Structure 1
Amino acid sequence: MFCKRLSQLRKRSNLTQEQLAKELGISRGSLSMYEIGKREPDFLTLQKVAHFFSVTSDFLIGLSDDPHGYGSLPPLYRELTEITEEEIDYLRESLEAYRKVKQKWE
């Protein structure tokens, strides 16, 4: 599973094997072996790949189909991971206004 997901993530990011290998601090040959399933990464390399692509190691090795690990979060938190900057600004302003009104009544 790791080989397939690594290859997909690299291609979606429009990176060559050489470019990704350089980013991860490994040889292109090692990366190629990972992608064709001839070698498995050590734990440190697995962590580097997960961090680089902002996915969980469980996703990379096939223990989860949720790349970001949001599935275990309550629905409200999952929604917050998709919020835009504009929505964040609106929520901040609304919260400030609410706190001012609440403070007046206390």
Structure 2
Amino acid sequence: MFNDRLRATRISCGFTQQKTADAIGINLRHYQKYESGEIEPDLKRLSELASLFNVPTDFLLERDDYLKALGVSVDVSLKCPPRRPKPQKNL
């Protein structure tokens, strides 16, 4: 999914969520919604993220077969630490 690819790319490139949000001109909570899958960036922000991480937009969109067909490879580790569990709400 896009949000997982975005998170792995950010971590691989050594960016924090705050640094990424600042670089593309949005607040931290808005960026966190990208990584949680609550929302997806518009085309402008997608392009800014790809430029920031120096990857094709198709990589962030998980179009790996398309990139492979073009002979494009991206050197980004997709391994990242597990997400922290969300706190349980007491009822």
Letter in 2 for 1:72: L
SS across alignment from 2:8: helix
Aligned residues: 72
Letter in 1 for 2:51: H
Question: Highest Rg: 1 or 2?
Answer: 1
2:59 paired residue number: 59
2:35 paired residue number: 35
Q: What is the CA RMSD across the aligned residues, in angstroms? A: 1.9
Higher helix share: 1
TM-score normalised over the length of structure 1: 0.59
TM-score normalised over the length of structure 2: 0.68
For 1:41-75, what per-residue CA distance to the aligned partner results, in whole angstroms no more than 9, with x for missing partners? 10000000111111111111112267xx47514xx
Structure with the bigger RCO (C-alpha within 8 Å, sep 6+) is: 2
Could you tell me the percent identity over the aligned residues?
33
Q: CA–CA distance in 2 between the matches of 1:46 and 1:11? A: 17
1:9 paired residue number: 9
